[in-house]
Amino acid sequence: MKIINVLDEGPFKDTGHGTLWVHDSANFRIVNFNFRAGQTLPVHSHDVDGELSIVVLEGQGEFLGADGATLPARAGDVLTCPIATPHGIRAITDMRVLVTIAPPP
């Protein structure tokens, strides 16, 4: 067992998003991404089978999808989808998210 507090250890960066690898195994991957207001993780997808979840821990922003689709994202929201579905994030305020991918690509 291990414990990582992403609120204490997860970095913010002024250029690009901060990344903290929380867990990485053959079964699943957990990554903490931290975005300053205005930063974006561009829409992308992975050509593999699997699912992902994006949990908003703090802040507000938008989940991004194909063809310019957006959904509001605020603390407590959880987005789930196949990993092959186009997805991304735009931060309106400073924003912390936790992404889980199973199985990892």
CATH number of the domain enclosing 75: 2.60.120.10
The answer as to whether 12 is a domain residue is: no
Question: What are 44-101's pLDDT values in tens digits?
Answer: 999 989 999 999 999 999 999 999 999 999 999 999 999 999 999 999 999 999 999 9
Domain extent for 47: 19-102
Question: Using 50, 70 and 90 to split pLDDT, how confident is the model at 42?
Answer: very high
Q: What is the pLDDT of residue 38?
A: 97
The answer as to whether 5 is a domain residue is: no
Cα gap 25→35, rounded to integer Å: 25
Q: What is the pLDDT of residue 105?
A: 74
3-class SS of residue 6: helix
Q: What is the pTM of this model?
A: 0.93
